[in-house]
Copies of this chain bind each other. A is one copy, B any other.
Amino acid sequence: MTVRRVPVVLMRGGARRAAFFHAHDLPNAPRARDAVLVRAMGGSDAAGERIDGLGPGQDGVARMVVVSRSQRPGCDIDFMCGTLAAGAATIDWGGPCGALAAAVGPFAIAERLFAGAEGPTRVRLQHVPDGTRIDAYVPVSAGEVSEQGTFVEDGVPFASAEVRLEWIEPSDAPFPTGRPRDVLELPDGLAIESTLVAVDEPMAFVRADALGLSGRESAADIDRNRRLLERVEALRLQAAVRMGLADSAQAALRVRAPMPALCWIARPAAYRGTAGAEVAAESVDLLARCVIGGRLQVAPGGAGSLALAVAAAVPGTVVAEVARTLPGVPTRIGHPSGSRAAGAEVSSRIGADGRPRWRVERCLLSHGARRLLTGEVHVPEGG
């Protein structure tokens, strides 16, 4: 039995960590490739500890990214992101990459798959499983990726350089109902105006004041407010049906991932963030509080932020009503633990029925990224 040494770079993208590989260092055939990767992570360990390999993160999920030069015209780099869940024997390549996409450009430049220019270097990425196009703008100095900087984001205790991601034509149907505004109904019959958006993941937005809220709430305010959480859940289930995610509220309850997330939004106002720092009203364009699985999230995820930015850019949505978004400028979203910026460019044309058809031309989101370790993973062959 021999040990195969496979070059690997452990990278952080946003608040995620993954093992990055060159496709050319792995077998071509997907089954053989995945066998090497699973063994590198510690094998198809039923107990989930994966102690004889690189192992999972604290959430029990091992993450891998495979990168190569792209053959697609207008693209520089292909990538795909795999997850090996606790107890799973196979890698799931179908899920979203999330913040890890921000580390692909820096990997490509550092590993000489792409030549870095001086300043922000554009790397044109293709997410292979679904063909999603993302342009990454990677800060480069003297041909090397600049990792140090002043960009801060939730869940990452150190500042780093900013990698700007620009999704190209991410959606030509951001509103699954075809409308920028839908009316939902609370159990007591009260009508609630909402905007239902699906850019990456489905999201439902309502105004905070429609629920008697301010948008300045903290997790402590919400997590024990049973009545509110019940109302939010009722809205969420209705939204799921409207968005075509389930045939009925009953069916929506059975969907494993609690989609859509429901967020209430409000005009900018000052509040105290989770870590104790004051968030000034002038520093945000919008307040958002999102509930997933019955809990207030510390911050909307990447998909939620993009959906907010899209809704803020479309006149007539409940988000545009309260957001102080300026055309062409990312929306600064004030969330429980701080703020983050996300941008969207939208366009519309008039459909055959005389109603506008919206289309998302670009979405913008930034993350930090950093090489944590470069080396070779030792993979025993034949088990």
Which A residues are closer than 8 A to B by beta carbons?
Answer: 1, 3, 5, 8, 10, 12, 15-17, 42-43, 45-49, 51-58, 60, 147-148, 155-158, 160, 370-378, 380, 383
Contact = CB atoms under 8 A, between A and B. Distances in A.
B375 A157 contact: no
A373 B380 contact: no
Contacts of A58: 48-49, 55-56, 58, 60
Contact of A54 (B3, B10, B42, B156): B10
Contacts of A3: 147-148
Nearest to A6: B373
A370 to B, nearest CB: 7
A46 B155 CA distance: 11
B383 A378 contact: no
A93 to B, nearest CB: 23
Contact of A373 (B57, B147, B148, B375): B375
A374 B373 CA distance: 10
A53 B46 CA distance: 27
Contact of A372 (B1, B157, B374, B378): B378
Contacts of A1: 148
Contact of A375 (B15, B51, B375): B375
A157 B43 CA distance: 8
Given A54-B373, A55-B17, A376-B373, A158 B49 contact: no
A157 B10 CA distance: 24
Contacts of A17: 51, 55
B54 A57 contact: no
A160 B1 CA distance: 11
A203 to B, nearest CB: 24
A375 B378 contact: no
Contact of A383 (B52, B155, B158, B383): B158
Given A58-B55, A58-B58, A147-B3, A370 B374 contact: no
A17 B56 CA distance: 12
A372 B158 contact: no
Given A43-B157, A158-B380, 9 more contacts: A3-B148, A5-B374, A47-B157, A51-B155, A52-B156, A58-B58, A372-B377, A373-B378, A374-B378
Contacts of A158: 43, 52, 380, 383
Contacts of A42: 157
B155 A380 contact: no
A275 to B, nearest CB: 9
Given A43-B158, A58-B60, A157-B45, A16 B373 contact: no
A371 B378 contact: yes
Given A58-B58, A60-B58, A49 B155 contact: yes
A148 B60 contact: no
A51 B377 contact: no
Nearest to A373: B377
